[in-house]
Chain A
Amino acid sequence: MLKIADKEFSSRLFTGTGKFNSSKLMEEALIASGSELVTVALRRVDMNNADDDILIHLKHPSIDLLPNTSGVRTAKEAVFAAQLAREALETNWIKLEIHPDPKYLMPDPIETLLATEELAKLGFVILPYIHADPVLCKRLENAGASAVMPLGSPIGSNKGLKTIDFLEIIIEQSKVPVIVDAGIGSPSDAAKAMELGADAVLVNTAIAIAGNPVQMAIAFKMAVEAGRMAYHARLGKQGNFAVASSPLTAFLDE
């Protein structure tokens, strides 16, 4: 089981709600994925409306909502957004996303750290979305983040694990769960992240814009399970040097 703050998850696949061609299809795909934590952008939902189309389709006993602050540009806006989400959606969990760059949606490390410090004081369970920066991950952990969410490649790019060398360092060093977020474009990318030892992955675009989102959600579910199992089973070493059938040093034992 994966434990983040006070919650346990049997699924290590977290999902998002954007880019689906209907809320109904989104709901079907999320259920098929087995995901228990689903992120939703505050800017897309009407928090004062109990009949909001997206929120209605996310009302399942097995699904916890993870509101995200996507769209904010500063720590101040993020803190304000988190407070509103806590009140309206009755959860103190927040996926902290601060990307002042609307083109590539690159997360702002400085504002993210500032917001994490502030939100920790306010009692939030904070999951910050960040670049795959090992030092920043440690700083966020110390500031009170309950997990870190480094990116695999630019958000929505489906380019996979371009930051793999840094993800390995982050996973090795982290005391909080590491959730690889952004860029995961195929089930094999998700399996790879899990094989590396990531605690979970978050996938949205790759499922939402697939030819068959429900089927793709199931494929991701299986890939995450397979990757986690492979991590536990411990992969055989990849050798940089061959073991010769006639060893050069064999004579020493003669």
Chain B
Amino acid sequence: MSSFKDLFETYTWDDVKESIYSKTKNDVERALHTSRRNLEDFKALISPAATTYLEPMAQLSQQLTQKRFGKTIQLYIPLYLSNECTNICTYCGFSLDNKVRRKTLTEDEILQEVKVIKSLGYDHVLLVTGEANQTVHVQYFKKVLKLIRPYFAQVSMEVQPLDTEEYVELIPLGLTSVLIYQETYHKEDYKKHHPKGKKSNFNYRLETPDRLGQAGIHKMGLGVLIGLEDWRTDSFFTALHLNYLEKTYWQTRYSLSFPRLRPFSGGLEPKVEMNDKELVQLICAYRLFNEEVEISLSTRESEKFRNHCVQLGITSISAGSKTNPGGYAVEPESLEQFEISDERSPFEIAAMIRSKGYEPVWKDWDKVMQC
């Protein structure tokens, strides 16, 4: 069966990059005025030539987002199950070479965390782990899903890539969506940032969304880690990937996210800086390119930035996040994956969303959809 890899290999990084950077104001204006935008229009919208069109892009992005999603913002919260990891990733606090105490939550500990998360009002939880296939494997995930499913309407997962058959086993247990970030589509740089561990296999990661689509997942999230490589080129490949997946696995919903590299224990300086203006440009470009895709913004971003983004095109937001296993109740001081930037409580975030004229949505899924 063919996969995204076949399409991906017909492109070269340098050609794509050059094509984006050579887009003109004419290209941007054409992209703004057309009603159905293609990948060339997307290139124009993320190009340097579009930086002077930020306001019309934002206005359009707001209109399109409200048309599809209304004046609502979904809320979710991560639950870090484990910081064990057998990969070396140069940008991650969980990296194998980072000498810190490792922890994987037991069933009792998970329930303690769940209790706190529920008390905050959440009905959608995102399970997060590193990649430690000896301890945190599909059997562990099955156990966790059975344990927590009664407490949540929606359960998402951001863990190591799995095989199709493993996803097939997890979906009936209540797994709704899987987030799988490529980190970067730059093959050589990917190797540099992932020198050791299963994650160093670029192609296995690249084909994960295909495996998820074949397994029949309801929703999947894509994205790159902003800061590793040229964000414009990486974002084009994300859009290409999204386009391919939507056509191939047409029953699946998609979401995008664009985490910017944050400080963590062991620190890597971003190779490429992306400023706030550029991130706004990217959010709007994604919305103009795809009116239906969900766009998520994490607590990595600052309070001020998140306050404004609510009206710009994003559709979901996390709040009150802890990025360490046991962070809510069991062991608040354990190692964080990265430092969060917006420290406000879910209550405060919900109040901020309301003050912007939007409704915070805690539940937008039901178990009945996975009977």
Residues on A lying within 8 angstroms of B by beta carbon are: 18-23, 42-46, 71-73, 76-77, 80-81, 84, 100-104, 156-158, 205, 208-209
Looking at B1-9, B37-45, B92-100, B355-363, the stretch in contact with chain A turns out to be: B355-363
Q: Which residues of A contact B252 (CB under 8 A)?
A: 102
Q: Mark B230-263, 1 if CB is under 8 A from A, else 0.
A: 0000000000000000100011110000000000
Count chain B residues whose beta carbon lies closer than 8 angstroms to a beta carbon of A: 29
Residue B29 at the chain A interface, CB threshold 8 Å: no
**Which of A44, A101, A158 makes the CB contact (< 8 A) with B67?**
A158
Tell whether B366 is near chain A: CB-to-CB under 8 Å: yes
Residue numbers of B with Cβ under 8 A of A are: 66-72, 123, 153, 219, 246, 250-253, 292, 354, 357-359, 361, 363-366, 368-371
* The 8 residue pairs across chains A and B that have the minimum distance between CB atoms: A19-B70, A21-B71, A102-B253, A80-B371, A81-B368, A43-B366, A100-B251, A209-B66
Quick check: A72 and B369 within 8 Å, CB to CB? Answer: yes
Main secondary structure of the interface of A (DSSP, over half): loop
- Residues of A near B66 (CB, < 8 A) are 19, 209
Contact residues in A for B354 (Cβ distance below 8 Å): 22
Which residues of chain B are near A156, meaning CB under 8 Å? 67-68
Q: Is the beta-carbon distance between A19 and B368 smaller than 8 angstroms?
A: no
Q: Is the CB of B368 within 8 A of A21?
A: no
User: How far does the alpha carbon of A104 sit from the alpha carbon of B364 in the complex, in Å?
Assistant: 18
B368 CB contacts on chain A under 8 angstroms:
42, 72, 77, 80-81, 84
Question: Quick one: which of A43, A73, A101 has the most chain B CB within 10 A?
Answer: A43
Establish whether residues B67 and A77, one from each chain, have CB atoms under 8 Å apart when the complex forms. no
Using CB atoms, name the residue of chain A closest to B368: A81
Q: B71 touching A43 by the CB < 8 A rule?
A: no
- B67, B246, B366: the one contacting A71 at CB < 8 Å is B366
Name the B residues within 8 Å of A102 (CB-CB).
219, 251-253, 292
Q: Is the CB of A81 within 8 A of B369?
A: yes
By beta carbon, the residue of chain B nearest A99 is: B251
The answer to whether B371 and A43 touch across the interface, beta carbons within 8 angstroms, is no
Known contacts A73-B251, A80-B371; A19/B363 CB under 8 A: no
CA A72 – CA B292 in complex, angstroms? 17
Given A44-B361, A44-B363, A46-B363, also A19-B369 (CB < 8 A): no
The answer to whether B363 and A43 touch across the interface, beta carbons within 8 angstroms, is yes
B292, A43: Cβ atoms closer than 8 Å: no
Bound: A44/B123 CA distance, A: 11
Q: Do B70 and A18 have beta carbons less than 8 Å apart?
A: yes
